[in-house]
Chain A
Amino acid sequence: MTADVTTERVDDGPADHAARVMPQLDTVSHAAVSPDDEQPYAELGLRADEYARIREILGRRPTTAELAMYSVMWSEHCSYKSSKVHLRRFADLPESDALLVGMGENAGVVDVGEGWAVTFKVESHNHPSYVEPYQGAATGVGGIVRDILTMGARPVAVMDSLRFGRADAPDTARVLPGVVAGVGGYGNCLGLPNIGGELLFDDCYAGNPLVNALCVGVLRHEDLQLAKAEGTGNKVVLFGARTGGDGIGGVSVLASETFDAEGPAKRPAVQVGDPFTEKLLIEACLEIFAAGLVTGIQDLGGAGISCATSELAAAGSGGMAIDLDAVPLRDSTLTPAEILMSESQERMCAIVEPGKVADFLAVCRKWDVLATVIGEVTDGDRLTIDWHGERIVDVPPRTVALEGPRYERPMARPADLDALQADAPPSSSADLRADWLAVVSSPDGADKTWVTEQYDRYVRGNTVLAQPEDAGVVRIDESSNLGIALSLDGNARYARLDPYTGAQLNLAEAYRNVAVSGARPLAVTNCLNFGSPEEPEVMWQFAEAVRGLADGCRELGLPVTGGNVSLYNQTGDVAINPTPVIGVLGVHADVRRRVPTGWRADGETVLLLGETRPEFGGSAWAAVVHAHLGGLPPRLDLAAERALGELLVGLAADGGVSSAHDLADGGLAQALTESSLRYGVGARLTVDGDPTAALFGESVARVVVTTSDPAAVRAAAEAAGVPVTELGTTGGDALVLDGLLELPLAELREAWTATLPALFGSPEVAVGTVPAGTVPTS
């Protein structure tokens, strides 16, 4: 941390201790007359040309405080300086009637009908979670929840998409339990059900685990809040937790640099979460919104007060005056620059009319939330910040918040990509039964109860479907049964083989998962996790993934409502596989018509919808059985996805299917395992054609459904142009594939459930065991 004050000895007399060292503030007027003072811009992550541009904007050198603000706001994390030129593709998508608020606000807002709107977004907290797993993950949840709250919505659910290094690597045993406990510890204490997510392992994440958290919130159309400061004389109110020394420079140091094994410890830059305070903040905010007490609101996340004040001012009329002395501190020794950069959690900033300040403060008092007027909206277009009566910041806020640098970074197709794509995977299984067990017991394929039972999925009483279902489903209106479905998917093997197609395949999978539950897909969000943008090959992967996602959304007719970019997921010169995690939101007109993935009844017909081809590139089977990654990912067919999706939504509305499960990683073998073990119902099935392709191929646009009326499903599928294959009938206590293999459910369950407890410790040791789906029913 750079010193914010220069000290000069004014008196050597030992008696006058207090006067011996008198700090001299780096004020605006001092900066104007000391142009040649050296400033630590490089240590703060700024390039020489960026620093020169700041000097040009201000017409002088920045003060220490100004330099701190620019450095955090112009960091990759806050400014999207490497990604912005590519993200324009999302804004260029055709306008959607469903979109009430698009990209650029804290989160996009979608109209879901009946006067309800939904806002949802995913955000990464990758780097902090590696440094300090519990707090990194916990504050990742806290941050995205505040983004949703800021839109005027009540947060109603969270999801988490997680990636770690090899499951048996020692560092995974350090990071994973802490991350899971952090996601759970924060979300559980906030009272938000966790309705789903992903947990995947790959060596490429060993030094760069991914922790992507999604939050979804619900609001009435008229309750929408925006983050802007308008109305001269309106007060700027900071409320929530006190400001401390945690998280200083988190965005510029942690999230915008590559980890370096030689580098200094980065632990102090991780924030510490207090979910109890956030819960109070949520309830206080919703009461404040309901009473109409704010004209604008912004949460404090990365870059803290620097970000909130400059963004509010930049989005409004531009003028704002802040008295930094008014900010309540946890640590009175913090310098002004540290206060401006601190990422202390659980803080919000509101713009309040003077006549409403007393009511605003009263609501905060009721909820034991500290609230302080720290400034006001002013005429003009300058953001000024004073400290001890001296002006230490005087900047045009747009230059801080909106007009950061933008780079068209060099791009290059990875040199190894041709060879990788030419390296076709094996295509024939030597032992179908052994391979089946290997795939479903692999850490990626195995039962995730070890993780999900650490999350509250019931709180608020509106969770209709949660993990291990294909999509999470939440009721949003108890009188009409209107609800929403959400899925997060991010296959990085596909994206490594072909980032353009891989991003679309992830979109297709999330779309399919939402449709499987019976919901109509409506909007898309994303969290794009990549390596260093300064590597041309990474930048090419990023650009291709964005182009793919935009093209896919255009074809499916879905808007991108917002998203998050996480770069520098790289240790040394080794980047993670490109990991575009895609979230799709769907709407259920009546959640009572939701379709679960598990089989409950004997004697139902099992049908496969969609077409199977021998496609093994990037497949779980190739990875698990052959440690192979190569070839091309499955062929994308968005027209088929759309036809299948519409068919599934129609079947759900008519009650035509009793279960539906998407085929993805691990193919049919994985899907049949999960559907049968859910409630302990087996099946006798026959598959045609090449058995390896049938069981382990990962052709997309496929779903397994069960029904008591196969003729009706077949007719609907034929009308929709979706191929149908009858596989057999549910029943019995084994999965029997005629002529190929037989798997007793008990053996299959043992294989599927034992993996994660064996790796990460079994809480069952001390107490009895209730495997999923075997709870006694009354």
Chain B
Amino acid sequence: MRIGVITFPGSLDDVDAARAVRLAGGEPVALWHADDDLSGVDAVVLPGGFSYGDYLRAGAIAARAPLMRSVVDRAHAGLPVLGICNGFQVLCEAGLLPGALTRNSHLHFRNRDQGLAVERADTAWTTSFTQGQQIVVPVKNGEGRYVAADADLDRLEGEGRVVVRYVGGNPNGSSRDIAGVTSADGRVVGLMPHPEHAVEDLTGPSEDGLGFFTSVLTAVVAA
């Protein structure tokens, strides 16, 4: 199972995402932002970091990278795509996910071990969890406050597109404690917390994050 991990200029957690794919049993494939071709991967991860230094708006420049045209096209055809932190910002900027990520309400970068409730255990990236399961993964961002118009938030909630929600405290002021959302078909998921930093007891607060990466291996087989 080949899972692509895209490196944009300024991507930082690409090595972590590749490690998580490997530990989950997949084969990580390094993808370069300036290429056109997805190298035939079965799924794609957009990692965390500060692509283009977060200049202009976080994720705005990366969303216009040549490779993103292929990602958007293939995502519309069902390719599983996971955007973590900066990757989530890129997916919102690319129009694959609704809403936007803005400056944290308290205006600080914040890194802590964060409780999350999994509200959708049936997306391409979350079948390894159970509905309502509480997990702990690190969160770390300065612009992670999820916002959307109230009507859009109502619609997302109504369609069950909130994948993970903050529990035990909202680290950045996100609307309705939303930590991650999915596309209508459940194939594209974006979240601000970092599951790739919770894949080994040695280095993370838990191994809960591994579930995102094992899930997609199942989803790809099933597809």
Task: In the complex, identify which listed stretch (B12-20, B64-72, B147-155) lies at the interface while the others stay far away.
Answer: B12-20
Contact mask for chain A residues 452-480; partner B; CB cutoff 8 A; 1 contact, 0 none: 11111111111110000000000100100
Contact A770 B115 (CB under 8 A): yes
Contact mask for chain B residues 40-77; partner A; CB cutoff 8 A; 1 contact, 0 none: 00000000111011110000000000000000000000
Q: Interface size for chain A: under 10, 10 to 19, 20 to 34, or 35 or more residues?
A: 35 or more
Contact mask for chain B residues 183-219; partner A; CB cutoff 8 A; 1 contact, 0 none: 0000000000010110110111110100000000000
Contact B168 A770 (CB under 8 A): yes
Q: List chain A residues, Cβ under 8 A from B133.
A: 778
Dominant SS among interface residues on chain A: loop
B9 part of interface (Cβ distance < 8 Å): yes
Contact B10 A279 (CB under 8 A): yes
Q: List chain A residues, Cβ under 8 A from B194.
A: 458
Report how far A265 CA is from B172 CA in the complex, Å: 37
Report how far A453 CA is from B53 CA in the complex, Å: 20
Q: List chain A residues, Cβ under 8 A from B134.
A: 776, 778
Closest to A481 in B: B202
Contact A461 B197 (CB under 8 A): yes
Contact B111 A456 (CB under 8 A): yes
Task: In the complex, identify which listed stretch (A26-34, A374-382, A761-769) lies at the interface while the others stay far away.
Answer: A761-769
Contact B13 A191 (CB under 8 A): yes
Report how far A368 CA is from B65 CA in the complex, Å: 14
Given contacts A274-B53, A276-B52, whether A464 and B110 have CB atoms under 8 Å apart is no
Dominant SS among interface residues on chain B: loop
Say which residue of A185, A280, A453, A778 sits within 8 Å of B110 (CB atoms).
A453
Contact A592 B173 (CB under 8 A): no
Given contacts A276-B53, A453-B112, A462-B203, whether A778 and B135 have CB atoms under 8 Å apart is yes
B204 CB to closest chain A CB (Å) equals 7
Report how far A736 CA is from B159 CA in the complex, Å: 53
A144 part of interface (Cβ distance < 8 Å): no
Docked complex: B104-130 residues within 8 A CB-CB of A: 104-115
Q: List chain A residues, Cβ under 8 A from B203.
A: 458, 461-464, 475
Q: List chain B residues, Cβ under 8 A from A769.
A: 169
Contact A770 B15 (CB under 8 A): no
Q: List chain A residues, Cβ under 8 A from B10.
A: 189, 276, 279-280
Contact B168 A184 (CB under 8 A): no
Contact mask for chain B residues 68-103; partner A; CB cutoff 8 A; 1 contact, 0 none: 000000000000000000000000000000000000
B35 CB to closest chain A CB (Å) equals 12
Report how far A453 CA is from B140 CA in the complex, Å: 8
Report how far A475 CA is from B111 CA in the complex, Å: 20
Given contacts A453-B111, A460-B16, A767-B105, whether A775 and B168 have CB atoms under 8 Å apart is yes
Given contacts A368-B9, A464-B202, whether A768 and B112 have CB atoms under 8 Å apart is no
Given contacts A763-B106, A766-B105, whether A459 and B16 have CB atoms under 8 Å apart is yes
A275 part of interface (Cβ distance < 8 Å): yes
A345 part of interface (Cβ distance < 8 Å): no
Q: List chain A residues, Cβ under 8 A from B106.
A: 763-767
B196 CB to closest chain A CB (Å) equals 7
B180 part of interface (Cβ distance < 8 Å): no
Report how far A767 CA is from B146 CA in the complex, Å: 13
A387 part of interface (Cβ distance < 8 Å): no
Closest to A591 in B: B202
Q: List chain B residues, Cβ under 8 A from A770.
A: 112-115, 168-169, 171
Q: Interface size for chain B: under 10, 10 to 19, 20 to 34, or 35 or more residues?
A: 35 or more
Contact B53 A275 (CB under 8 A): yes
A367 part of interface (Cβ distance < 8 Å): yes
Contact B171 A767 (CB under 8 A): yes
Contact B13 A459 (CB under 8 A): yes
B220 part of interface (Cβ distance < 8 Å): no
Q: List chain B residues, Cβ under 8 A from A368.
A: 9
Say which residue of A191, A458, A592, A766 sits within 8 Å of B49 (CB atoms).
A191
Report how far A590 CA is from B175 CA in the complex, Å: 43
B167 part of interface (Cβ distance < 8 Å): yes
Report how far A456 CA is from B48 CA in the complex, Å: 12
B138 part of interface (Cβ distance < 8 Å): yes
A6 part of interface (Cβ distance < 8 Å): no
Contact A767 B173 (CB under 8 A): yes
Contact A457 B208 (CB under 8 A): no
Q: List chain B residues, Cβ under 8 A from A185.
A: 109
Contact B108 A475 (CB under 8 A): no
Closest to B138 in A: A458
Say which residue of A455, A460, A475, A767 sits within 8 Å of B170 (CB atoms).
A767
Report how far A623 CA is from B194 CA in the complex, Å: 42
Q: List chain A residues, Cβ under 8 A from B200.
A: 461
B29 part of interface (Cβ distance < 8 Å): no
B6 part of interface (Cβ distance < 8 Å): no
Residue from B19, B112, B196 having most chain A Cβ neighbours under 10 A: B112
Contact B136 A777 (CB under 8 A): yes
Given contacts A274-B53, A276-B50, whether A454 and B108 have CB atoms under 8 Å apart is yes
Report how far A396 CA is from B142 CA in the complex, Å: 49
Residue from B50, B166, B169, B203 having most chain A Cβ neighbours under 10 A: B203
Q: List chain A residues, Cβ under 8 A from B108.
A: 181, 453-454, 763
Say which residue of B9, B15, B107, B115 sits within 8 Å of A776 (CB atoms).
B115
Q: List chain A residues, Cβ under 8 A from B142.
A: 188
B151 CB to closest chain A CB (Å) equals 24
Contact B9 A184 (CB under 8 A): no
Q: List chain B residues, Cβ under 8 A from A280.
A: 9-10
Closest to B166 in A: A768
Contact B111 A778 (CB under 8 A): no
Docked complex: B21-52 residues within 8 A CB-CB of A: 48-50, 52
A485 CB to closest chain B CB (Å) equals 14
Q: A279-B9, A461-B196 are in contact. List 6 more A-B contacts (CB 8 A).
A: A455-B109, A461-B204, A764-B169, A775-B113, A776-B167, A777-B136
16 residue pairs from A and B, CB less than 8 Å apart: A181-B108, A181-B109, A184-B109, A274-B53, A277-B53, A280-B9, A453-B108, A453-B111, A460-B12, A461-B19, A464-B203, A767-B172, A770-B113, A770-B114, A776-B134, A778-B136
**Partner-A contacts on B (CB < 8 A):** 9-10, 12-13, 15-16, 19, 48-50, 52-55, 104-115, 133-136, 138, 140, 142, 166-173, 194, 196-197, 199-200, 202-206, 208
**Partner-B contacts on A (CB < 8 A):** 181, 184-185, 188-191, 274-277, 279-280, 367-368, 452-464, 475, 478, 591-592, 763-770, 774-778
A-B pairs, 5 with minimum CB distance? A276-B53, A768-B169, A191-B12, A763-B106, A458-B197
